[in-house]
Structures are given as C-alpha cells and as structure tokens.
Amino acid sequence: MLHIRNKYEEMEAHRRRSNLLRFLEGLVIGHLVGILIGLFIAPKSGKETAKDISLEAQKLIEMGKQNIPKINPIKKALTSSENEVETELTADI
C-alpha cells in the first residue's frame, strides 16, 4: 500500500512540474502575441513598426539565449523523472 502511495505522490509531483512548464510556455507565447498585436495596432508608420518589431525580436532572441542554459537542465530532469515514473508504473502492472 505504501508503495502505491509513493507512486501516486511521484506522479503528482511530475504532473505539477509539467503544469508549471506548460504555464511558463503559455506565458512566453502570450507575451509574444501581446507584443506583436501592440506593435501592429500602434499608430506608427510601417517603417517605425518594422523597426520596433526587429528590436523586440532581437531582445527576445537574446533573452532566449540567456535562459536556455537554465531551461535545459530542468527539461532533462523532467524527462528523466517522467521516464522513471513510467517505467515503475508499467513494471507494477
């Protein structure tokens, strides 16, 4: 019974981590969409808007480059954890 409870707790922890990653992905995507909409409806000339889009894209690319080293270990840990839970669950069946 304790073994099943531990498995359940592991699955719940994995689910919470997965939900956090999905939330963060949604946050980033929402941010990007908001920026693009704001730029396109702004009362500026096409050249100014294109320049703004280019500058924002460069900022986002730089931000992504800075955050990739932080995200990759989390991704690897979650993938490893997911594989372990899946292996243990299928072994119990």
Each residue's pLDDT, cut to its tens digit, for the chain (93 residues) gives 566 667 777 777 777 778 888 888 889 899 989 888 887 787 777 788 788 888 988 998 888 888 888 877 887 777 877 777 777 777 765
Neighbours of 30 (CB within 10 A): 10
Q: What is the predicted pLDDT for the residue at 32? A: 87
Predicted TM-score (pTM) of the model is 0.39
Amino acid of residue 24: L
Count how many domains the chain has: 1
Q: What is the pLDDT of residue 93?
A: 57
pLDDT at 92: 61
Token output for 41: 């409806």
Q: Which domain holds residue 44?
A: 2-92
